[in-house]
A and B are shown apart, each in its own frame.
Chain A
């Protein structure tokens, strides 16, 4: 069965600092991986996705993630945090074994300090 694990339910950074949100996956087949973001009182929005092309994936709002098969990781980074980045972030994998439903991690809430 496929799954993702997000390390850290809460992450706090200062404005302008590096953002690093960790995600590890488990999959018996090549995975399709996603990062979604949920801003307060909004729905889930796709940040970026990995679908077996380039291992370094660039997304919206300056975020990027690198797929590392050897480490089974798909960590999300942003060089410089902005106050508007404060939100909850979800790593997810597409269930390639059937139906392609999205399997989510527990989420990481990002706090940005001024």
Chain B
């Protein structure tokens, strides 16, 4: 069974440009989460989808970030326009059940560098 897949693995863009990150969860997982780790800091929650619906987007930094989950399958996270402080590693995770006992499965992450 394929794990959580994220594209691209690395992205280097200039300040002001747009970047779109993609996450393909494990098939059948209704829950999809996005996290971010800025260098030297903790891994922070960004938002949570249940199927195609945003369940919790309290961690989204500002309105330059837009997440979608088309048809409850893959998800995209767009940053527009990107700023220097957006640099970091963006992780996606999915889980099958909406219960804390079920761990989330994480992707490899996308390392975003804004220059």
Contact = CB atoms under 8 A, between A and B. Distances in A.
Interface residues of A, number: 25
Interface stretch (A14-22, A69-77, A97-105): A97-105
Chain B interface size, as a band, is 20 to 34
B108 A43 contact: yes
B107 interface: yes
A103 B58 CA distance: 13
Given A44-B91, A51-B100, A94-B100, A102 B107 contact: no
Nearest to A42: B108
A100 B45 CA distance: 11
A104 B103 contact: no
Nearest to A96: B100
A46 B102 CA distance: 11
- The 3 nearest A-B residue pairs measured at CB: A94-B100, A44-B106, A32-B100
Interface of B: 4, 31, 33, 35, 41-45, 48, 55-56, 59, 91, 93, 95, 98-109
